[in-house]
């Protein structure tokens, strides 16, 4: 769900707070939580205004036209599953196509939800989608994820069987991490893969992270800018790494394939958390944007 796109030149660095949790900011979460059920899901808004549909149409059109050469093929192939680009779709309609493809379904939520509720939904192959859309004034940047980010950024890859399994495994891992007090470390994995991940393909680097795919400015930056640092996927390294929350990411992590991602994250993380904590205690966290000696860097 959560993704932050660049807003200012500030260089805030998050120490790893879960990117899906409300209540960690200075203000209450946006959204009407009175209508939420105990699992934080709700009915999708019955209607949207003409202006809201228009915002969605403009966002969709701007983002879709720049996908070729920047987004991974699996994502491009599945964007059509979102339905017509001119109106905010009904989540149930997408679920009807998604269930037979990978067994996932979409559920509406009022906004950011607590991480345990988020993990529980993912573990049940239910993807929470915020049901409100940003205002026209927020066209280029919205602080909290809205329906465009959640749908356009996240849902196409839920049609990919391997990535769909990864998302469920992440949910199950999150429930376990909650018991191990390791959500901060796991959140870094989510941030650097699901939200801001890059994948190496025979045609060059491509984005698969939702925060990139739903951002007009960071998508080309992440794939093509010589200023961006890009290093190879390394689970333990990523869990040690701090990240930015209100500007472009200073560095991106590159996978070779979704199979690699799924395989690397399939084992029980209990010993991994202990190992990473010990490394942090000994050598510290890795600053956002740092590239370590000997680390493999990717250039566009």
Please tell me which residue in 195, 218, 241, 251 is annotated as part of the active site. Answer: 195
The CB-of-46 to Fe ion minimum distance in angstroms stands at 24
Burial profile 271-286: b = 16 or more Cβ within 10 angstroms, e = fewer: ebbeebeebeeeeebb
φ and ψ of 37, to 5 deg: -80, 180
The interface with Fe ion within residues 135-164 (CB under 5 A) comprises none
CB closer to Fe ion, 3 vs 151: 3
The CB-of-122 to Fe ion minimum distance in angstroms stands at 12
Q: Catalytic site residue 203? A: no
Segment interacting with Fe ion, rule: CB under 5 A, options 2-10, 32-40, 68-76, 279-287:
2-10
Q: Catalytic site residue 195? A: yes
The DSSP code for 90 is P
How far is Cα of residue 114 from the mean position of the Cα atoms in its chain? 16
Closest-approach residue to Fe ion (CB): 3
Please tell me which residue in 214, 215, 241, 247 is annotated as part of the active site. Answer: 214
CA neighbor of 5 nearest in space, from 190, 145, 204: 145
The CB-of-252 to Fe ion minimum distance in angstroms stands at 16
* Per-residue binding letters, 191-210, with Fe ion (x by CB under 5 A): -------------------x
CA 172/CA 269 separation, integer angstroms: 11
Which residue has 């010990």 as its token pair? 278
235 binds Fe ion (CB under 5 A): no
CB closer to Fe ion, 63 vs 272: 63
The CB-of-211 to Fe ion minimum distance in angstroms stands at 6
The CB-of-146 to Fe ion minimum distance in angstroms stands at 10
Q: Catalytic site residue 214? A: yes
Could you say which of 3, 42, 82, 288 contacts Fe ion (CB under 5 A)?
3
Exposed / middle / buried, residue 147 (Cβ in 10 Å: 0-12, 13-18, 19+): buried
CA neighbor of 169 nearest in space, from 124, 232, 108, 113: 124
Q: What pairs with residue 20 in β-bridges? A: none
Please tell me which residue in 52, 74, 115, 154 is annotated as part of the active site. Answer: 154
Q: Catalytic site residue 218? A: no
3-state helix, strand, coil in the chain (%, to 5): 45, 10, 45
Which residues are identified as catalytic?
A: 149, 154, 195, 214
Interface residue list for Fe ion (CB under 5 A):
1-3, 210
């Amino acid at each position: 769900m959560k993704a932050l796109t660049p807003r200012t030149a500030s260089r805030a660095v998050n120490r790893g707070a879960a990117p899906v949790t409300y209540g960690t900011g200075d203000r209450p979460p946006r959204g009407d939580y009175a209508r939420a059920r105990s699992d934080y899901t709700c009915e999708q808004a019955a209607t949207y205004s003409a202006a809201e549909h228009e915002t969605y149409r403009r966002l969709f059109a701007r983002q879709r036209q720049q996908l070729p050469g920047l987004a991974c093929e699996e994502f491009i192939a599945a964007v059509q599953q979102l339905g017509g680009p001119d109106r905010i779709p009904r989540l149930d309609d997408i679920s009807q196509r998604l269930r037979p493809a990978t067994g996932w379904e979409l559920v509406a939520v009022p906004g950011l939800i607590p991480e345990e509720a988020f993990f529980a939904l993912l573990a049940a192959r239910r993807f929470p989608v915020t049901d409100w859309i940003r205002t026209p004034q927020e066209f280029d940047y919205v602080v909290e994820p809205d329906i465009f980010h959640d749908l356009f950024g996240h849902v196409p890859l839920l049609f990919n069987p391997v990535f769909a399994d990864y998302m469920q495994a992440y949910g199950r891992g999150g429930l376990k991490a909650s018991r191990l007090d390791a959500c901060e470390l796991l959140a870094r994995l989510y941030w650097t893969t699901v939200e801001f991940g890059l994948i190496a393909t025979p045609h060059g680097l491509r984005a698969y992270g939702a925060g990139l795919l739903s951002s007009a400015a960071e998508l080309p930056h992440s794939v093509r800018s010589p200023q961006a640092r890009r290093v190879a996927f390394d689970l333990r390294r990523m869990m040690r790494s701090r990240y930015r929350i209100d500007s472009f990411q200073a560095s991106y992590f590159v996978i070779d394939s979704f199979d690699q991602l799924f395989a690397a994250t399939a084992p029980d993380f209990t010993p991994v958390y202990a190992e990473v904590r010990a490394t942090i205690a000994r050598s510290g966290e890795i600053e956002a944007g740092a590239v370590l000696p000997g680390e493999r860097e990717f250039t566009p």
